[in-house]
Structures are given as C-alpha cells and as structure tokens.
Amino acid sequence: MSDCLFCKIIAGEIPSSKVYEDDLCYAFNDIAPQAPTHFLVIPKAHIGSVSEVNADNSAVVAHIFEVIAKLAKEQGMDSYRVVSNIGEQAGQSVFHLHFHVLSGRDMTWPPG
Ligand code: AMP
C-alpha cells in the first residue's frame, strides 16, 4: 500500500535497522523500544492486522513464527514475549500486520 509506513520501510523508502530479511518477511528494531530487545517482524505483503489473516495468506504467519523462533535462538533469548495489537483500543498504531518481539527485562501479566 502506497501510504503504509511499513510498506515504505520494506521498499527502503524509510530507513530501518534491519534484523533479518527473506522473501516473505522483514524484521527490524522498533524505533521506540519497550525492552532491551524489541524488534518487529512483518510480512512483505501488506496485511492490515491479524484480523485480515485468512486461508489465502496465513502461511506467511506460520513462516514469521518460524523466523521468530530462529532469531530468538540465535540471539540467546530464552524468555521473550510476542505481541500483535489489533485495532486502536488494543494499541495498534501502524496498520500493517506486525509481531513485536520483546526480551531482556521482567514483564508483567496481564499487560496494562
Ligand atoms: P503498534 O502500536 O502495535 O501498531 O506498533 C507499531 C510499532 O511501530 C511501535 O512500537 C512503534 O514504535 C514502531 N514504529 C513506528 N515507526 C517506526 C519506524 N519508522 N521504525 C521502526 N519502528 C517504528
């Protein structure tokens, strides 16, 4: 989508701190980290949020979770949180599917 911030990051039109990239997904450090490690993993194809995942596009979500597990192992993360906010009330501010990966500090549950 031409007006999507994360599509522009994937296209290289907006700079980002790359963590990982393959044909299907892109991972980069969050610009406002909420933990010592905080990166985002996004599909290269535009999907608005989890609420737009369906039988036609869900394979990329499985792939993203494989990538998250691989990156966590590589980075020695044995405890971490994966979050996806859906909708404004839940805290979604960028409407391109993304999974936050957070690690390196104590975390509370339930979240605020
Ligand atoms: P959410 O609020 O769940 O939609 O998450 C969006 C995330 O994108 C937030 O944690 C922001 O800090 C992050 N973010 C926004 N703009 C950028 C950017 N240019 N580069 C990296 N992360 C960003």
Residue pLDDT, tens place only, 1-25: 779 999 999 999 999 999 999 999 9
Query: How many angstroms is it from 60 CA to the middle of ligand 1?
Result: 20
Contacts of 51 (CB under 8 A, 6+ apart): 86, 87
Distance separating alpha carbons of residues 27 and 17, to the nearest angstrom: 9
Total-model pTM:
0.98
Determine the residue of 29, 40, 84, 99 to mutate for testing ligand 1's pocket, defined as the one with the most ligand atoms within 8 A of the Cβ atom: 40
**pLDDT at site 112:** 78
Residue nearest to atom 15 of ligand 1 (CA): 31
> What is the distance in A from the centroid of ligand 1 to the CA of 92?
9
Q: What is the predicted pLDDT for the residue at 2?
A: 78
Residues of the chain with pLDDT under 50: none
